[in-house]
Structures are given as structure tokens and as C-alpha cells.
Chain A
Amino acid sequence: MGSEFVALGLTPVLISAFAGMACALPGNFLVLRKQALIGDAISHVVLPGIVVAYLLTGQVSTWPMMLGAAGAAVISVVLIEMIRRLGRIEYGAAMGVIFTTMFAAGVLLLEQSDTSRVHLDVEHALFGNLETLIWLQSDGWGSLLDPLSLAQLPPQFFRMVIAFFVISAFTYIFWRPLVLISFDEAYARTIGTQATVVGFLLVVLAAMAAVAAFDAVGSIIVIAMILCPPATARLLTNDIKTQVFLSLILALGATLIGYVVAGYLPLWLGYSNTLSAAGMIATVSGLLLASSAIYGRHRKRVI
């Protein structure tokens, strides 16, 4: 199955693995700051931005969509903040209002516009189109060493790899302020840390992961990977560095297991249909969290 796997299976696996790790990395701090819902919000609010970008340019291309998604993310952050202040309600409630509204607006836009020529629909928004990210130009494992073949990898692959490394670099450089504002934001301000800026940077990193991952793997994986691997890792260790490394390994593991279970297990069992890889990856990450909640070393909390 070597060359067939390289052509059909390798790129979806790699793309979802990098997507999972890119989401899990900022997810660690969002979970510790009790802002995990932000990941959920971001992955929903980018939909209208992407649709508007498509309507304006008439094509599904990377940069207009990234800009549209980023614009939608910024607008929603402003709206959430406005509702929170004017309505004097808590953050989570304001976020809930905005992300459902934005997602609904995105769905309406999709339905009203003629997107039949391209692969852009609600299902795509939720599950991505992992199974279509194939590498037909490849010819077995040897293609990994062939620059010409490599250049023909789906653009989502490069986008996701770049996003992962940019997010990793920022996390490495801003490690101390990120840890500090996650533990004690008030104190961080008193020693001169720009807590608001660092907090915003964290949301931008999560948004970058979500937007880059969105069109390849869909919002289900984004939501699952921002939350599940970090939360699982938290239950396995009491050290934040270990937690972050573990969350990356868990994201990778959930992707591999989920993809194999969805794509190959039903065939091995004699069924003719495969399952949704995105759905299975998200399910596996949820199951990993559930088992660490039951068996994790540090699941007991000191009160």
C-alpha cells in the first residue's frame, strides 16, 4: 500500500497532525486561563469572513480567505468586548451570543450565494475536506525526496506547516509572559508585562491556527484540538513545560489514531464505507481526555 498511501493518505494525515499541534499549542494557555471557549468562538466566527472573501474575489484562494477570516475574528473580538461592557455580562455569555450569530450569518451567506462551482459549503466548514487533500503527483515514498513532486503538495500542507512553526516560535519567545499572565495577570501588570498585548497575542495565535486549519480540516478538529490535548496533558502532569510537550504528542497521537480508525478500520472489518476522518480525530481526542480524567495521575485537585 506504499505508493497508494503516499498519494492518498499521507498528506491528510500530515496536514491534520500539524493542524492539531498548531491548535493545541495556544490551547494550553487558553485552557489555563479558562478561555478555552475562545477557540470555539474563533473557529465559528471565521466562516462569514471566508464567505465574504470568496464573494468578493470569486475564488477559493488562500490569502483573501485568510484576510477575510482574520477580519471576521477581529470584528467579533470587538463585538464581544462591546457586549460585555455595555451589557455588563460575563465574557462567556457575550462570546456565546457573537459566535452563534456570526456562524449563522456565515451559513446564510453561503446559502444565498452561488458557491456551487467551488467546494465551499456548511459541511466543508465543519469537517473540512481532508479526504480531498491528495498528492497525486507522488510516486511512492521516494517522492518525499523529489523537489518537483514536493512542490505539488496541496497548498494547505505548506500553510499548516508554516502556521505551526510561526506559532511555535512565538510561544517559545513569549513563554515567560504567557505563563505569567496565565497564572497571575494582575501581578504581571505590576512588573511591567504588557498583559493586554500578550493576551491579545495569544488570541491571535489561536486565530492563526484556526484560520489556517479551517479550510483543510474544518472547525470540528480546531475546537477539539484547542481543548482536548491541553486538558488531557494537564491531568497527566503538574509541570507546564511537560504539559505543553505532552499536548503536542497527544494531538499527534489523536490524529494518527483517528485517521487510521476512520479510513482503514471499517475496510479491515469488511465494511465498504469509511468514516469522517475529522470527526474520528475529534472523537479520539475526546476519548483520550475522558480516559485521562479517569486514570490521569493528577486528576485529583487540591481544594
Chain B
Amino acid sequence: MMAGVALVSDQGVRLGEAREPGEEPLNIRGLTVSYGQVPAVYSIDFSVKSGSLMGIVGPNGAGKSTVLKAAMGILPLISGQVTFFGKPLKEARHRVAYVPQRASVDWDFPATVYDVVLMGLYPSLGLLRRVSKADKAKVAESLAKVGMQDFVDRQIGQLSGGQQQRVFLARSLVQQADVFLLDEPFAGVDAATETAIMGVLKGLQEDGKTIISVHHDLSTVSTYFDHLFLLNRKAVAYGPVAEVFTKENLSIAYGGKLAAAQLDTMGL
């Protein structure tokens, strides 16, 4: 595959990257999802290398969140195959954590920060098992990682947008997963939160975890991510940022919507 035009082939696997085919943290083949009659994303192929910090980038309405939701079984697939570590989601659920868009829930819900983070432990708690001291410690530890340890008993409706986002991230951390899928974690958050979240994600990567995050801000792509998936209803390209984040690919993904001035700020 030529550098700079890392178009996705049917095989999708780049030469020179040693890995077991199909054992990637996330592998998507021929994914088509539609709302009503119109396909939202069409025949998407892509996979993520273990240990990468991957951004999913594309214009508004490109289907970035749709790909994540379909992969997590929130939206039904028209066609396609999604595997986590070579297995369907059902069998790999305990290794996968999802962070929804902050705006997707009503923060006016009668719950505290503790209540929300504890939800990440529901799979191990089951229906009736009592919350143990160890469980509480896990919640506290996750909150400390995102810098929210002082807010355990705070009503979630009283948090700022950035704090709410951190609570969502903490909830995914208690799941102790191996791959994390985040839907626009930086949408409407303050600069301090953005830095804190990015620090947590980098820390996860150092621990060998894989992170996939829908991202909006093209100017931070190169500093935040090492891998990139560029899409606009169809997959445009995926792979290392240096290969994928090019003028040619961006103009395919964004059409004429990107001004030359914007490209300049990205150093392209």
C-alpha cells in the first residue's frame, strides 16, 4: 500500500505488521448500518492494532458514532461482522468498555457520582450481590485516576460538563477492560478536563490497553493519536497517523469543506 493513500483494501491488513489476523482488539468487516432507508455507514472495514490510541475522524454526519454504537451492539447491523479479540462481542464483553456521549443521558437523574461509577461494576455484581469494600475501593481508585476523588457523593446534576465526562470515563475504568471505545470525550469540556482525559488515555495505552476515540478537532489529531481511522459514510483510510492524516485523504473525507487555511494550521 502506498504511503499517504492508505486506502483500505478488501484484505485491510497492511504488510509488514506482524499480528494474528482476526485477533485484533477490534476488527470490523463489511459493516453497514442504516437509520430508516438511508445507510448511515456503508460497507466499513477496519481494524485496530493492539496497544494503539486511535482517533476516528470525519465530517459531521460521517457516521463516526454510528460505527462505535454498531460495534457495541447498541444499533442493529444491516450487514457485517464485528469481533473483539477474534470473538463476537457477547464472548468478549468483559474486555470491552464503552464511554457514551455525555449529552446522550439526562444528568438530572437522581444519582450521585458514586452511583454512576458503580454501574461499571454491575456485570460482576449481578442482580443482588452486595457492594463490597473492594468494590468501593475500585470506584474510589477510578475516580482518583480522573481527578474526581473529591466528588464521590456529589449529585451528578451539579457537575460541570467536564466533570460529567470524567465520571463517564471513571465508570469505564472500573470495568478493567482491554479495549476502550469513547464517543467524543472532548465534546463541550473545559481545557483542564481535556488534558486530564488525554493523560488517562495515554496511561491506559502505557498499560498495553487499546483506545479508540471519536474525535472532532483536526488540529489535535497528530498530538493525541498514533493511529487514525478516517471516514465519511465509507471508510476512507486507516492506519498510523503519519500515513493516514494527509491532505489527499482529508480532501476525500471532507470534500471541499476544509479550507486551505485550516490545513495549514495542521501543518499539512
Q: Does A141 contact B (CB under 8 A)?
A: no
A residues less than 8 Å from B105 (CB atoms): 183-184
Known pairs A176-B125, A187-B119; A182 contacts B96 (CB<8 A): no
- Give the total number of A-B pairs whose CB atoms are below 8 A apart: 74
Q: Which residues of A contact B55 (CB under 8 A)?
A: none
Structural contact, A301 and B108, CB atoms closer than 8 A: yes
- Number of A residues with CB within 8 Å of any CB on chain B: 27
**Residues of A with C-beta under 8 A to B122:** 176-177, 180, 191, 193
Interface string of B223-266 (1 = CB under 8 A from A): 00000000000000000000000000000000000000000000
Within 8 A of B (CB), among A229-279: 234, 237-240, 243
Q: Are A302 and B98 in contact (CB under 8 A)?
A: no
A185 to B74 alpha-carbon distance, docked (Å)? 9
Within 8 A of A (CB), among B89-106: 93, 96-98, 100, 104-106
Return A228 CB to nearest CB of chain B, in Å: 17
Q: B74 to A174, Cβ gap below 8 A?
A: no
Closest 7 pairs (CB-CB, A-B):
A190-B98, A302-B157, A190-B72, A240-B110, A186-B74, A184-B105, A183-B109
A190 touching B119 in the complex, CB below 8 Å, given contacts A32-B109, A184-B105, A301-B108: no
From known contacts A183-B116, A302-B157, infer whether A238 and B110 are also in contact, taking CB-CB under 8 Å. Answer: yes
* Contact yes or no, A239 B108, CB < 8 A: no
Hey, which chain A residues are within 8 Å of B96, CB to CB?
190
A-B contact pairs, 10 of them (CB 8 A): A180-B119, A183-B105, A183-B116, A184-B100, A186-B69, A189-B73, A189-B74, A190-B74, A240-B109, A302-B107
Least CB separation from B126: chain A residue: A176
Q: Interface 1/0s, chain A 157-184, versus B by CB < 8 A?
A: 0000000000000000111110110111
**What residues on B are CB-neighbors of A117 within 8 Å?**
none
A interface list, Cβ under 8 A from B: 32, 88, 173-177, 179-180, 182-184, 186-187, 189-193, 234, 237-240, 243, 301-302
Indicate whether A191 sits within 8 Å of B175 (C-beta atoms), given known contacts A176-B122, A183-B109, A234-B110: yes
Closest to B98 in A: A190
Q: Smallest Cβ distance from A71 to chain B, in angstroms?
A: 28
| A161 CB, min distance to chain B CBs, angstroms | 24
Residues of chain A contacted by B115 (CB below 8 angstroms): 179, 240
Q: Do the beta carbons of B155 and A238 come within 8 Å of each other?
A: yes
Q: Which of B72, B119, B157 has the most chain A CB within a 10 Å cutoff?
A: B119
Partner of A184 from the list B69, B104, B128 (CB cut-off 8 Å) is: B104
Task: Indicate whether B120 reaches chain A with its CB closer than 8 angstroms.
Answer: yes
What is the CA–CA distance of A240 and B128 in the complex, to the nearest angstrom? 17
Q: Decide if B111 is an interface residue (CB 8 Å cutoff).
A: yes
What CA separation (Å) do A191 and B74 show in the bound complex?
11
* B158 in the interface (beta carbon within 8 A): yes
Residues of B within 8 A of A173 (CB): 127-128
Q: Tell whether, in the assembled complex, residue B157 and residue A238 are in contact, meaning their CB atoms are under 8 Å apart.
A: yes
| Nearest chain B CB to A191 CB, angstrom units | 5
The residue on B at minimum CB distance from A174 is: B127
A183-B116, A191-B122 as given contacts; A237 in contact with B110, CB under 8 Å: yes
Bound-complex Cα distance A239 to B73 (A): 30
- Contact between B36 and A88 (Cβ–Cβ < 8 Å)? yes
Chain A residues within 8 Å of B109, by CB: 32, 182-183, 240
Kindly identify which residue among B73, B110, B123, B125 contacts A243, using a CB–CB cutoff of 8 Å. Answer: B110
Quick one: given A187-B98, A302-B107, A302-B157, are A192 and B116 in contact (CB under 8 Å)?
Answer: no
Report the separation of the CA atoms of residues A126 and B17 in the bound assembly, to the nearest whole angstrom. Answer: 71
Given contacts A88-B36, A177-B127, A238-B110, whether A186 and B155 have CB atoms under 8 Å apart is no
Chain B nearest CB, measured from A87 CB (Å): 12
What 1/0 mask marks residues of chain B from 66 to 82 whose CB sits below 8 Å from any chain A CB? Answer: 00010011100000000
The answer for the CA separation of A154 and B161 in the assembled complex, in Å, is: 55
User: Which residues from chain B contact A192 at a C-beta distance below 8 Å?
Assistant: 93, 123
Bound CA–CA A187/B181 (angstroms): 11
Chain B residues within 8 Å of A237, by CB: 110
In the complex, the chain A residue whose C-beta lies closest to that of B157 is A302
B178 CB → nearest A CB, Å: 14
**A190 contacts B128, CB within 8 Å?**
no
Q: Measured between C-beta atoms, what is the minimum distance from A181 to chain B in Å?
A: 11
**Cβ–Cβ < 8 Å partners of B106 in chain A:** 183
